[in-house]
Structure formats: structure tokens, C-alpha cells
Amino acid sequence: MSQNKEELQVAALKNGTVIDHIPSEKLFQVVQLLRVENMSTNITIGFNLDSKKLGKKGIIKITDKFFGDEEINRISVVAPHVKLNIIRDYEVVEKKEVQMPDNLYAIVKCANPKCITNNEPMPTLFHVIDKDNCVVRCHYCEKELNREDLTIL
Ligand SMILES: [Zn+2]
């Protein structure tokens, strides 16, 4: 029953991407990370939907949008187990889970006030050194940050 319900929540999209299993408290950060406000296609955002696994979850449906890995994997910084359903002609043609990328380019801010990225107009770059625990190291000043320390740009 609840399986059918979950399928119904994604059924209305003809072509595009459904981003599912977003913890509700992370939904708006994910929206921000994906730059959803700059998109011009039809977008549905569901907040506090019932989820067996998460209790409450968020979901984002974006019409006619197919993300590149780099574009979508940035959301792993705030929500590591998000699922993607790629929809073509009303059918799920691909399912995947977001992966922590090897590098974070211009996504998060360095916490070191002396870091060059905080003092020059330049993008940040972090190397992901522990994907399971989301530990990253600044390319420029070598400051290490955990998920809790990350500030999204
Ligand atoms: Zn730095």
C-alpha cells in the first residue's frame, strides 16, 4: 500500500528527475545547492511527506531536467543518501543514489578566515578525504572540515 503511494508521488512527471528521500530538514539546503530558483521548468517541491524510512521526507520533481553527476553529487554534502529517479515518458528509466564526489568545487566555504579563498575573489576547492564521514580538506590552506562545519556558498 505505502509502496503504491510512494510510486504515485512520482507518477505525474513525464520527463525529468525526481530527487527523493531527502530528509525534511535538509530539503531547503538541497533546493539551494541545486540552484532550483534559477530553473525555468516546472518544479514541484514536496515537504514533510510521509516516509517509512525517514519519518518525514522531502521530494523535488523537476520537469525536463537531467543532471550531470557533478551537478547532482554536490547535494551529498548535506544529504548523503538521496535517491534519484530519472523519468522518461512517465517511466522510471534509471535509479541512482547520490555519491560523494572526489572534489567540491565552489560549493562550500573554507572555515579558515586566513585562507586565500576568503580573501581573494576565487572559487573554493576541497578534496574529499573521507566519503563515508564527509571529511574534506581545503586545497589551498589544508584546513580539514567535517559535515557539521560545512557552510554552503
Ligand atoms: Zn582554506
* Cα(126) to centroid(ligand 1), Å: 8
How many whole angstroms separate alpha carbon 76 and alpha carbon 70?
11
Q: How far is CA 42 from the centre of its chain?
A: 18
List, for residues 26-63, the tens digit of each pLDDT value: 999 999 889 888 999 999 999 999 988 888 999 999 99
Lowest model confidence (mean pLDDT) among 5-19, 55-69, 111-125: 5-19
CATH number, domain 103-152: 2.30.30.20
Distance 66 CA to ligand 1 centre (A): 32
What DSSP line would sit under 10-22, residue for residue? HTT-SSEEEEEEE
**CATH class of residue range 3-97:** alpha beta
Q: Same fold for the domain at 3-97 and the one at 103-152? A: no
151 to 13, 22, 71, 103, 109: CA distances (angstroms):
32, 18, 18, 16, 5
Tell how far the Cα of 35 is from the centroid of ligand 1, in angstroms: 24
Q: What is the pLDDT of residues 114-129, one digit of tens each?
A: 999 999 999 999 999 9
CA 112–ligand 1 middle distance (angstroms): 6
Q: What is the three-class DSSP state of 30?
A: helix
Q: Residue 134 annotated as binding?
A: no
The answer to whether 138 is a known ligand-binding residue is: yes
Every domain of the chain and the residues it spans: 3-97, 103-152
